[in-house]
Structure 1
């Protein structure tokens, strides 16, 4: 199942071969029976917390129909673990996970390592595994944009001294134990909450 976070709301995409849940959604849409290009016009995603389910046979086709008016951007980042502590950043007054846009011809895992090094000032974190992928929308330079984020779990054994990248509006970077993740959860984005759930067993 894929999820797209739109402000306070979420659209989930479910393969038609899977069992469709009967509860928990404001609307369940079968991609064969609905004009998907108009789906986003049906709800005020900012003012209310809407949860939609779109059932698909061809994810890429259906996804592009729903978000036809959006520009696509690829990004990657991850949660770094060192001595049972985990690295998080604060940006624009919200807790976040270091991440950033892929450069030309760059693979997601390469971008994740580079962005973490740049945004936190550490060197040499190594990929443990892919946690998962999320999507979220926002406005970038006046253009509607949907960002696909690859999220990784990374290990690190170097110095825990950090240097937040101020030019990226990062005000602090901290190492905390998993028992303290409630600090992050109390002031972060829904998409980051999703990544934290992905990393619960790590």
Structure 2
């Protein structure tokens, strides 16, 4: 099952019919995906399931309907076991950004972490699950697929937020502080920590 966040609300792409009743279930053959997304942005739908026997087929259809923006990001640990967070648009987030021509997704992730936080000496130690969310820019919907990597660094300096990206602060957070920060974060960031069973 894929979990795509639309306006921070879950759209599940699934090949199972679930017995719950607090959501709307749509069949891939008979639905206009874009209409579901518009309704989720208008807060008319809080949670939806999109069903097809082959869930990869649903993801392909979604990519056909909505342009894809590919991004890379990092879940970065320092020597003390703290995690690097950024604060932007009133929420805690992890550093990430769009791929540039000729880059591998790993290079994107390292470059973006360095640019957004000033932290260097990054080494990728693990590939993490991808996250999916739909955002709207200049009236256009886009599906952002972010490839996440666990990274380690022995950086000793003071992290600096990239002002032109609207990053107000950068902080190394301990497990207890992370729990608190996730209370004011995005659903796909929470999902990353849940999937990794890092803290919960």
Give the TM-score category using the shorter length.
0.7 to 0.9
Match of residue 188, structure 2, among 164, 186, 191 = 191
Preserved contact between residue 84 and residue 170 of structure 2 (Cα < 8 Å): yes
SS of alignment partner, residue 132 of structure 1: coil
Q: Which moved more, 1:179-188 or 1:82-91?
A: 179-188
Matched, 1:81 2:77: yes
Tell me the TM-score normalized by structure 2: 0.86
Q: CA RMSD in A?
A: 2.4
**Matches of 2:171 and 2:137, distance apart in 1:** 27
Q: CA deviation at 1:200?
A: 2.8
Q: CA deviation at 1:58?
A: 4.2
Higher fraction of strand: 1
**Matches of 2:151 and 2:85, distance apart in 1:** 12
Match of residue 66, structure 2, among 54, 66, 70 = 70
Alignment of 1:14-25 (within 5 A): 14=14, 16=15, 19-23=16-20, 25=22
SS of alignment partner, residue 47 of structure 1: coil
2:89 maps to which residue? 92
Q: Give the gaps of 5 or more residues in structure 2.
A: none
Deviations 1:42-62 (A, max 9, x none): 844442562212233444542
Higher fraction of helix: 2
Q: CA deviation at 1:68?
A: 4.5
1:113 maps to which residue? 110
Count of matched residue positions in the alignment of Structure 1 and Structure 2: 198
Q: Give the gaps of 5 or more residues in structure 1.
A: none
Deviations 1:88-122 (A, max 9, x none): 00012211100000111322222111110111101
Q: CA deviation at 1:195?
A: 1.8
1:3 maps to which residue? 3
**Matches of 2:94 and 2:182, distance apart in 1:** 12
2:24 maps to which residue? 27
Match of residue 141, structure 2, among 144, 160, 163 = 144
**Matches of 1:192 and 1:185, distance apart in 2:** 8
Q: Which moved more, 1:70-79 or 1:37-46?
A: 37-46
Matched, 1:180 2:173: no
1:54 maps to which residue? 50
Cα separation, partners in 2 of 1:95 and 1:105, compared to 1, 3 Å: same
Deviations 1:110-160 (A, max 9, x none): 211111011110112111212211111112233211111111211111214
